[in-house]
Amino acid sequence: MNLKKEKTILFDLDGTLIDSTEAILESFHSTFDHFANKRPDDSLILAEIGHPLDYMFLALGVSTEEVWDFVAKYKEHYRKISKAKTFLLPQAREAIEEASKIARLGIVTTKTALYSKELLEHLELMHYFEVLIGREDVKNPKPNPEPILKALSKLQSDTTKCWMIGDTCMDIDAAKAANIHSIAVSCGYGSQEQLSKCATIITTNAFEAVASISCG
């Protein structure tokens, strides 16, 4: 066995590797407009990114009875625009390329797995990842450890040599609950103040996080 590949690195997606803020906001706007509901302020939407869509809509005032209609309409719009309005964060491609030299890779996201795979294929990066766990793959999303544990189970990974890289405390808390290492990145949706409450290691971006793992 190649000893370099004994490590496993799991990445969050939004705010860690990609910036899909424009696509997310536009899809929320379109959805609220469709149902003739007042649009919430963009700052309120941004504050919820990282949670599953149903959680986000509920937090933004949509009723339990209507929430899945809102989610379906959002997905319909998002899928049409996501590829054109999603971009890699600075040094994200380099982070993935470097990580692939030292570890097996996976994605653990609260986004829909189907759309996440389509985005990564569009960005010509999906082939680096052996597993992708999305919202529909689990009952309990991050910060519950279920998605991380499911990814590690598929990879049959040694948890003592696994890392989670993410931009919110949901990622870090999920890693802690799964008993694996974690690194927070400040390039996404979690503020430095928020991340300092949950993470012991905070780097500027995913590339720096991978470099830290390489040196560890």
33 is catalytic: no
The pLDDT, as a whole number, for residue 99 is: 97
Per-residue confidence band for 158, with pLDDT thresholds at 50, 70 and 90: confident
Q: Which domains does the chain have, with CATH numbers?
A: 3-19+86-215 (3.40.50.1000), 21-81 (1.10.150.240)
The pLDDT, as a whole number, for residue 1 is: 39
Residues linked to residue 62 through DSSP beta bridges, in sequence order: none
3-state SS track over the chain:
CCHHHHEEEEECCECCCEECHHHHHHHHHHHHHHCCCCCCCHHHHHHHECECHHHHHHHCCCCCCCHHHHHHHHHHHHHHHCCCCCEECCCHHHHHHHHHHHEEEEEECCCCHHHHHHHHHHCCCHHHCCEEECHHHCCCCCCCCHHHHHHHHHHCCCHHHEEEEECCHHHHHHHHHCCCEEEEECCCCCCHHHHHCCCCCEECCHHHHHHHHHHC
The pLDDT, as a whole number, for residue 93 is: 98
Q: Please count the other Cβ atoms lying within 10 Å of the Cβ belonging to residue 209.
A: 27
Over residues 11-15, mean pLDDT: 97
Per-residue confidence band for 2, with pLDDT thresholds at 50, 70 and 90: very low
The pLDDT, as a whole number, for residue 216 is: 66
Percent of the chain past pLDDT 70, that is, above it, reads 98
Percent of the chain past pLDDT 90, that is, above it, reads 93
* 62 has a pLDDT exceeding 50: yes
pLDDT one-digit tens code per residue, 172-205: 999 999 999 999 999 999 999 999 999 999 999 9
Q: pTM for the whole thing?
A: 0.93
Over residues 51-55, mean pLDDT: 94
